[in-house]
Chain A
Amino acid sequence: MKSNRLLGILAGVSLAGVAAFGTSTVAYAQEDTFKIGVVTFLSGQAAQSFGVPAWNGGKMLVEKLNAGEVPAPYNTKGFGGMKIEAVVLDEAGGASTQVQEFRNLVQREEVDAVVGYVSSGDCLAIAPVADELKQFTILYDCGTPRIFEDGDYEYVFRTAAHATQDNVGLVHYLKAKDVDVSSYSGINQDYAWGHDSWADFQAAMGQIYPDAKVEAELFPAFGAGQYGTEVSALMQKPVDVVHSSLWGGDLQALTLQALPRGLYQQSQVVYSAGDHVMPPLGANMPEGVIVGARGAYGFMAPDTELNKWWFDNYSETFDVFPVQAPYRMAQALLGLKTAVEKAMAENGGKKPTDEELAAAMKGLSWESPGGEIEMAISNGHQAIQPIGFGTTMKDDNGNIILGDIIRFKARCVNPKDGMKSTEWISAGFPDADCD
């Protein structure tokens, strides 16, 4: 009986201790940590190409930021001295699932900021919910221009340029390399990304190569895997340029199936966002392909101290060079750090509220490994950034790399503020600064 009472008392003391300790931990956490909800693909087709490398880079960067080991101007610890704590969620499951998960992040996890979303469909679904919940949210990767061209949000920001620059820059690159184009074809996935990319490419070609004719427009299903028939269709109508915005496993399969059949000898093939297939394909990546990365990333990144630190650390940690996805995650996290510290400088050093963060992020610019990011359009909510393109070739060791690299200024390839992308391209890129 005595022992039972003793056990009861001990249990009571333990619970009280846990409760007290737990409360103090929460209080400590709320004051001294900055909690971010990170949402990216950890499963499904986009995981291998985008989600996993993005969070690999993000996790590494968070650790380095917390340790204060990132080069200046990011050499202070964490976010304004607060330790960064990340809650990572899988983006798989579709837009309705993501909306529910977003609400959980905000209302249960009580994150201070959300950084996420590769899929344009998810971004379009999350943006109004973020505003409804007044949750400061960074869309770090998705490409559709429609987020801010068709919507207006207070708490939502996109720290990467939208997809218009991918194809406008690509056509500028073709012209800069004096590629003679009298005819061209496209093979793009049969969903919004593929159709939008092809439409942008066609519109930009119409401005810079007005006499070039379209021969074949192919839209295989997302995840089709088999492209033999499409390769035959492309080769039946020889053209100067074949455009593709395929990505991930689809792009790898297309490359593996088209290479032995001579497509790359017959036409100049351009991959508008294909840098991420270079590491996995390795020697199977053909030479002479023009490749973009949706930014000035990897081999195309500027030669800065910050990029050198980032590129080397990532390469050493993961035994592969960083492609576009980790770069975009890094620029989102560095932008968030800049915004948090700017807001703290203005509010006396307290953890900023969502409103203070939104005010700080609006129109902000900061240095990233891929160059300067400027929240310059869509009322300061949409980033523009430089973009690079290169051509695949082998180095002295036989490794596939990018050469003939050209970087274009952000204001050369992004629409001017207040103009929709399609209108800007159709109007002949007014006010574009390409000097």
Chain B
Amino acid sequence: MNLLLTIVVDGLIYGSWLFIVALGLTLVFGVLRILNIAHGGLYAIGAYAAATAVPVVAGLGLPDGFTIVAMFLSALAVAIVVAPILERGLLRLFYGRDEVLILLVTYAVFLILEDVTKLIWGVQPYYVFQPRLLFGNVQIGNLFYVGYDLMLIALAVICGLAVWLGINKTRIGKIVVSVIHDPEMSASMGVNVSRVYLLAFGLGVFLAALGGAFTSPLISVQPGISVSVIVVSFAVVIIGGLGSIPGAAIGALIVGLARSFAVHQVPEAEIFIIYLVMVIVLIFRPEGLFQRVEARKI
């Protein structure tokens, strides 16, 4: 019983972390039809920004809770600065082009961002330990967990709900949905499509940076952290269905639980099982779990 509980809790924590990152990835694809490999680089910049901001805030003598605010604001700052540069300066030049071409463009951006982080922050590691101390330790079953790790579950739920409600229950969300379905018709009805694209891309960048920012207390922030996250995040959105928010949630949950089961029971299959799940899903649902088959517009 303890083992089952541990597998579930570990799976939820890992899946929550994945979901925060994959949410931005699926949102950007859903709206802009961009498979954004640079998402991993934006995640890394978010981690670096938080690792820079948190010690500054901690040094000001403010209550420790402000370090969480600093992580949130640093992700926001990354989105405000980086999203317009990338979307206005580069990606909009490729809208409507072959998706493979855009994939290559975002891969190039990914490599550039990797070097940009090195130019700005160097190769030395950064640590932010303060936020991880905020929530103490919690005993679940026979093991102790760090409260901060469990808080990630709540953060993932908040992010998922906020984006889902924002798209489905607000006026601007309806505009975004109209652009997703038919950007030309939306434009003819007076929607500023390019602004919607910027907004969606900015939100995607924010979520990537937020994932990086809230991961920074768990790791040493240094070159190379962007690689593994983008690979697994792609697996999540492919399982869930590219562009689907509930799909990303279920995909992250499945990957998290499958990986946790493997680590505890068949550790040699830890990596294999993620892609086994992906293959099984694609065999039976080639569009992913939450994506409907659509007629192609010619």
* A interface residues, Cβ below 8 angstroms from B: 43-45, 47-48, 52, 190, 216-221, 223-226, 228-230, 232-233, 235-236, 248-249, 252-253, 256-257, 260-262, 280-281, 284
Contact = CB atoms under 8 A, between A and B. Distances in A.
Given A217-B267, A235-B143, A252 B218 contact: no
Given A219-B270, A228-B14, A284-B129, A236 B123 contact: no
Contacts of A43: 114-115, 118, 123, 223
Contacts of B268: 217, 219
A249 B6 contact: no
B52 interface: no
Contacts of A236: 2-3, 6, 142-143, 264
B222 A228 contact: no
Contacts of A284: 127, 129
Interface in B234-282: 259-260, 263-264, 267-268, 270-271
A252 B14 contact: no
Nearest to A280: B125
Given A219-B267, A236-B143, A252-B219, A280 B124 contact: yes
A220 B114 CA distance: 23
B213 to A, nearest CB: 14
Contacts of A253: 218-220
Contacts of B260: 229
Contact of A225 (B2, B3, B225): B225
Given A229-B260, A230-B263, A280-B220, A48 B125 contact: yes
A218 B263 contact: yes
Minimum-distance CB pairs A-B, first 4: A252-B220, A45-B224, A229-B10, A253-B219
Contact of B13 (A190, A221, A228): A228
Given A223-B227, A229-B259, A280-B220, A256 B127 contact: yes
Given A225-B225, A229-B260, A236-B3, A249 B118 contact: no
A43 B117 CA distance: 11
Size bin of chain B's contact surface: 35 or more
B interface SS class: helix
A47 B268 CA distance: 28
Given A219-B270, A228-B149, A236-B3, A256 B263 contact: no
B14 to A, nearest CB: 6
Contacts, number: 120
B224 A216 contact: no
Nearest to A283: B129
Given A228-B14, A229-B14, A44 B223 contact: yes
Interface string B1-38: 01100100111011001000000000000000000000
A154 B260 CA distance: 49
11 contacts: A43-B123, A223-B225, A226-B219, A228-B14, A232-B264, A256-B220, A257-B146, A260-B132, A261-B143, A261-B144, A281-B220
B156 to A, nearest CB: 14
A221 B6 contact: no
Nearest to A52: B123
Interface in B186-231: 215, 217-220, 222-225, 227-229
Contacts of B271: 190, 221
| Overall SS of chain A's interface | helix
Nearest to B220: A252
A230 B260 CA distance: 8
A225 to B, nearest CB: 5
A218 B217 CA distance: 23
Interface string B167-182: 0000000000000000
Contacts of A261: 137, 143-146
Contacts of B145: 228, 261
Given A43-B118, A229-B263, A249 B222 contact: yes
Query: Which of B143, B217, B263, B268: most chain A Cβ within 10 A?
Result: B263
A47 B125 CA distance: 11
Interface string B105-140: 000000000110010000111010100100001000
Contacts of B215: 225-226
A232 B10 contact: yes
A190 B268 CA distance: 9
A45 B114 CA distance: 11
Contacts of A216: 267
Given A223-B228, A225-B225, A249 B270 contact: no
Contacts of B223: 43-45, 47-48
A48 B222 contact: yes
A205 B11 CA distance: 33
